[in-house]
Amino acid sequence: MGSYVISFQEIDTQHLLVGRKGWNLGELSKIHGIQVPEGFCVTTEAYQKALKQNEAFHALLDQLTLLKVEDRDQIGEISRKIRQIIMEVEIPSDVVKEVAHYLSQFGAEHAYAVRSSATAEDLPHASFAGQQDTYLNIIGKEAILQHISKCWASLFTDRAVIYRIQNGFDHSQVDLSVIIQRMIFPQASGILFTADPITSNRKLLSIDASFGLGEALVSGLVSADCYKVQEDKIVDKMIATKKLAVYGRKEGGTETQQIDPDQQKTQTLTEQQILQLARIGRQIEAYFGCPQDIEWCLVDDTFYIVQSRPITALYPIPKANDQENHVYVSVGHQQMMIDPMKPLGLSFFLLTTHAPMQTAGGRLFVDITHNLASPVSREILLDTLGQSDPLIKDALMTIIEREDFIKSLPNDRKEQSPGKNNKGMSPAGFQAQIENDPTIVSDLIKSSQTSIEELKYNIQTKSGPDLFDFILEDIQRLKKVLFDPQSLGVIQVAMNASSWINEKMNKWLGEKNAADTLSLSVPNDITSEMGLALLDVADVIRPYPEVIDYLRHVKDDNFLDKLVNFDGGQETQNAILAYLNKYGMRCAGEIDITKTRWSEKPTTLIPMILNNIKNFEHNAGNRKFEQGRQKALKKEQELLDRLKQLPDGKRKGKETKRMISLIRNFIGYREYPKYGMVNRYFVYKQALLKQAEQLVQANVIHEKEDIYYLTFEELREVVRTNKLEYQIISKRKDEYKLYEKLTPPRVITSDGEIITGEYKRENLPAEAIVGLPVSSGVTEGRARVILNMEDADLEEGDILVTSFTDPGWTPLFVSIKGLVTEVGGLMTHGAVIAREYGLPAVVGVENATKLIKDGQRIRVNGTDGYIEIL
């Protein structure tokens, strides 16, 4: 026959002809021993032929292409007209002839399921599941032809159109094939996931089963039994009360029937059938090479498979070199950057770190299996992670309590003599050395700046493969700076002093989190200075209404050049350029070298500058800093006065004063090493983009940013040879789109199981949303839920609610009076800067951006770690 209809057996690699669903059925039909109800596909060529000459259809399609998601009314109106045209269009006679031919082969008297199969369905980065229509128990050629038209029309339901707009698909590039499949009338049916959809565990298979046709289950009409199978054993069963079932009617169509009350609680499948179905699932999974979501039916003890598609929502598992069990912890949750990174960004970070890291889903994970196996290192690890993210610690406790997942090593307490670090000096000695050297921080900062200036000078002469050798060499210098024992010692001394103050003041005076107030407005904090410096930029611009008006309408990044045409424009340009010169290498997500820096896109700063002009008066930066400093001094005096009244008060006061001076002198430096790293990254990036320009000129890549989709080593090779298979870039761009949709887990095992932790706390208000308290105080205000820093429209007194913040978000902190994030711990960026600015903050709040709605009035309790919606 022609190319308008093909049977499942004839389907080859061309899923553009039959859509992904049709192609999957063709593949399933080839698997030995798998029963698939027979049938055929009306190809996309039939759909194209039916509408090719229809001018009204194409005119409406052009109109639809111009619309955005928010144009709901127009989408509805145009889509309705398109569906009407499709329903009225005559199916071409040669298509009708081929359908009739296949129907006579399979039996025209039988009932059929008529199902849509779009070319943009079940893709790795967009599932389109349930977007188009399915019709069951259709009998007779005329009814089948009518339902082919209905399936074609369902390509333009409002929800399908909106989904395509959201996912960036061109309506004219998506075609529809129609599956005509022999109808079977099952006693039971359901869905089988070869990886558990709740935990993502690849070894745990999950079966949903109910009586009658599966449509009742898919449409949410009935509850289903749920069986879990692991390694050929049923490990869990949940038997639902099944009151309804959908069955096919003799004359065509379906009906919903009540189930006999004494059958409602019966187990749908026998134990033997459950295990048989599980084996079928594993066979299909092995054939397709990835976890599957499978629709099945049971007829007279035979299982029929009516569909199988990849499960797109599973988080990929980091790769291991062996078959042992492994536990991985997310790096992004520690670094406050849970967005996916592009390959170049990942490879740079891997070059900069000492830790054993793996990549999965565009994110970094550390394999901590070995640390968990040893009792001593387990204790240290849990203690460290517990401080930075209690949810990670709680998830790890779940794994440890199972006992069978990780083999415990014998107790290996070969500790160094108490209190010696690897440089042969005890922490107390190290602390004394740091305490007695007030210039240590300024020396470390000066040394870092000198080193960066040298790098900027030396890199200018490098190009081609030499540049890559030079960068690798300089990364060794960067690592020396990042892991310099003196630098780490300063940070450790300040953190220890904070912990000491919090612990002792609570014990002696009943004062919680005293260190938060004592850390206000400390010197040498490069990140919080960056927020205050943007207030100074606003001060320069505030007197010039013309400039302010110009900035409100700026769209492109060349705006700085045009500023000089306005009164006050030169001063504005100087102020912004000076700011960029010091902080322009920063941005949100800055540990990924491929992220756009403020220097590359200065318009990012404009909304924040305008907010500062609107919300603050002149000299607000200095005033804010001085208010924080006075508050810290006042708190210090208050604590010392209260300690005097205690038994042994003189000694306690003396020790406390010493610890406070350690916090004040050294805690600000904590932000500096990362600033140095991001500075270096930007220098490397500018040099690599020059190489990228040459690759564009040589037609090796299409645009400069294509290099972001190559690793450092791959890019080096492309620069050396001037050759590249461009499909690599296209493939990785698609993968990146998929990764953007995934939520990275804090903890994942080598089985793919995502372990979630929880906060265990009593005596909280009934409706409280719980998180980790990281900056003391209680505040109320309007919640602003902001996922992208560039969309921030804040007024003074708003509370920022977001998924995570890193130094790139700091300029927003001057406008807010409280902070809530989904990710973070005691020492992550948002927490440190919140304490520095005196903002009550709660972090690590699961789903905060969904639970709290933009504009709601909320109360943030940063002392006890919860949020109330008022």
Range of the domain at 813: 758-869
Q: Please tell me whether residues 245 and 127 are part of one structural domain.
A: no
Residue 402 lies in a domain: no
| Active-site option among 15, 326, 333, 829 | 829
Distance CA 244, CA 260 (A): 9
Say if residues 112 and 138 touch (Cβ distance below 8 Å): yes
Same-domain pairing of 154 and 190: no
225 and 159 together in one domain: no
Within a domain: 346: no
Residue written as token pair 């998830």: 395
**Which CATH number does the domain housing residue 249 bear?**
3.30.470.20
Q: Are residues 139 and 266 in the same domain?
A: no
Q: Residue 133 — pLDDT band, cuts 50, 70, 90?
A: confident
Residues 103 and 215 in one domain: no
Query: At 868, phi and psi to the nearest 5?
Result: -120, 140
Going across the sheet that includes 769-770, the strands are 769-770, 866-869, 857-861, 778-785, 798-802, 816-821, 841-843, 772-775
| Local confidence band at 428 (pLDDT 50, 70, 90 cut-offs) | low
For residue 427, being part of any structural domain is answered with no
- Percent of the chain past pLDDT 90, that is, above it, reads 63
Of 683, 701, 721, the residue that ends a domain is 683
pLDDT class of 677 with cuts at 50, 70, 90 = very high
Nearest Cα to Cα of residue 677 among 527, 835, 465, 466: 527
Residue 734 lies in a domain: no
653 and 679 inside one domain: yes
Highest mean pLDDT among 414-428, 532-546, 767-781: 532-546
pLDDT at 701: 96
93 and 40 in a common domain: yes
* 202 and 82 belong to one structural domain: no
* Residues 188 and 177 placed together within one structural domain of the fold: no
pLDDT in tens, 368-377: 999 999 888 8
Sequence-separated (6 or more) residues with CB below 8 Å from residue 815: 611, 612, 615, 794, 795, 796, 798
Exposure of 765 in the CB half-sphere (CA atoms within 13 A):
13
CATH number at residue 179: 3.30.1490.20
The gap from C-alpha 456 to its chain's centroid, in whole angstroms, comes to 34
Q: Is 829 marked active-site? A: yes
Angle (nearest 5°) at CA 406 between 401 and 409: 105
Categorize the per-residue pLDDT at 807 as very low, low, confident or very high, splitting at 50, 70 and 90: confident
For residue 14, what pLDDT is reported?
A: 63
As a dihedral over the C-alpha atoms of residue 667, residue 671, residue 674, residue 679, rounded to 10 degrees, the angle is: -130
Report if residue 569 sits inside a domain. yes
pLDDT digits (tens, 9 = 90+) for 91-127: 999 999 999 999 999 888 899 999 998 886 544 444 4
- Confidence class for position 415, pLDDT limits 50, 70, 90: very low
130 and 222 belong to one structural domain: no
CA distances to 315, 558, 680, 708, 846 from 593, rounded to whole Å, are 24, 23, 10, 9, 28
- The continuous run of DSSP H or E covering 206 comes out as strand 204-211
Q: What are phi and psi of 484, to 5 degrees?
A: -60, 125
What 8-state DSSP symbol labels residue 617? -
Using DSSP's 3-state secondary structure scheme, residue 60 falls into: helix
Co-location of 496 and 615 in the same domain: yes
Contact yes or no for 141/3 (Cβ under 8 A): no
Q: How do beta strands 747-749 and 327-330 pair?
A: antiparallel
Q: Is residue 826 part of a domain?
A: yes
CATH number of domain containing 780 = 3.50.30.10
Same domain? 108 vs 203: no
The secondary structure of 218-278 as a DSSP string is HTTSS--EEEEEETTEEEEEE-----EEEEE-TTSSEEEEEPPGGGTTS-SS-HHHHHHHH
Beta sheet of 225-230, edge-to-edge order: 233-238, 225-230, 204-211, 188-193, 292-299, 302-310
Report the number of distinct structural domains present in the chain. 4
Instruction: Report yes or no on 338 lying in a domain.
Output: no
CA atoms within 13 A on the CB side of 123: 19
- Range 18-36 average pLDDT: 92
User: What would the DSSP string read from start to end of 375-420?
Assistant: HHHHHHHHHHHHHH-HHHHHHHHHHHHH-SSSPPPPP---PPSTT-
Q: Max alpha carbon distance in the chain (Å)?
A: 101
Distance from CA of residue 413 to its chain's centroid?
A: 39
User: 814 in a domain, yes or no?
Assistant: yes
64 against 192, higher pLDDT: 192
Report the 3 state secondary structure along 690-706: HHHHHHHHCCCCCCHHH
pTM: predicted TM-score of the whole model, two decimal places: 0.85
Dihedrals φ, ψ of 860, to 5°? -110, 120
Number of H helices, E strands in the chain: 32, 26
Please give the helix or strand (H or E) that residue 48 lies within, else none.
Answer: helix 44-51
Sequence letter at residue 684: Y
Runs of H (alpha helix) within 238-374: 271-288, 332-335, 343-352, 369-373
The sheet with strand 176-182 has its strands ordered as: 5-7, 39-42, 176-182, 111-118, 134-139
Q: Which of 654, 683, 712 is the last residue of a domain?
A: 683
What is the pLDDT, as a whole number, of residue 127? 46
Mark which of 640, 657, 683 sits at the end of a domain. 683
Does the pLDDT value for residue 525 go beyond 80? yes
